Amino acid sequence: MYEEISISMEQASDAKVLIISVAARLAGMHPQTLRQYDRLGLVQPGRAGGGGRRYSERDVALLREVQKLSQEDGVNLAGIKRIIGLEQLAGELQERIAELESQLDAAYQRIAQLEAVASYPSRDLVRQERPSTALVVWRPRRSGQG
């Protein structure tokens, strides 16, 4: 008998090495279902030199998620496609946030380094003895006004 293999989306490899029959068996689906999901854009397998589909472990985990959403949660394929797209977008945004947080940390470190230099504040910053309550409004000149 076949051994049950559990693959989470986070652990799964992106290497496109599984032929359609193996991927279908691991996902618990018929190969024709995988072909249909490919045509609908739910999963994007790689292609071998002869044109055969090649799936990754991550693809198999995604196929299992599609099956769960469809069979257990009653979501139609259009809804599943939308969910997958939003999950991918959320992942990309999380990566971007992590990147920006790293850049922000580096900026804070650089500010701390500059503040440690004795001449830094007096040369580049103007200190105010007391907080100002003045409001400055800037309006660009319109063309034709002098």
Is the domain defined by 9-75 classed in CATH 3.50.50.60? no
Helices (H) and strands (E) in the chain, counts: 5, 3
For the chain, domain boundaries: 9-75, 77-119
DSSP one-letter code for 12:
-
Beta partners for 54? 19, 46
Contact 81, 43 (CB under 8 A): no
The pLDDT-based confidence of 112 (bands split at 50, 70, 90) is confident
pLDDT tens-digit series, residues 21-64: 999 999 999 999 999 999 999 999 999 888 899 999 999 999 99
Buried b (16+ CB within 10 A) or exposed e, 115-124: eeeeeeeeee
Residue 63 class from Cβ within 10 Å (0-12 exposed, 13-18 middle, 19+ buried)?
buried
pLDDT band at 4 (very low <50, low <70, confident <90, very high): very low
Q: Are 55 and 18 contacting, i.e. CB atoms less than 8 angstroms apart?
A: yes
Q: Is the pLDDT confidence value at 2 over 50?
A: no
DSSP label at residue 55: E
Q: How far apart are CA 88 and CA 90, in angstroms?
A: 5
41: left (phi over 0), alpha (psi -120 to 50) or beta: left
67-90 residue pLDDT tens: 999 999 999 999 999 999 999 999
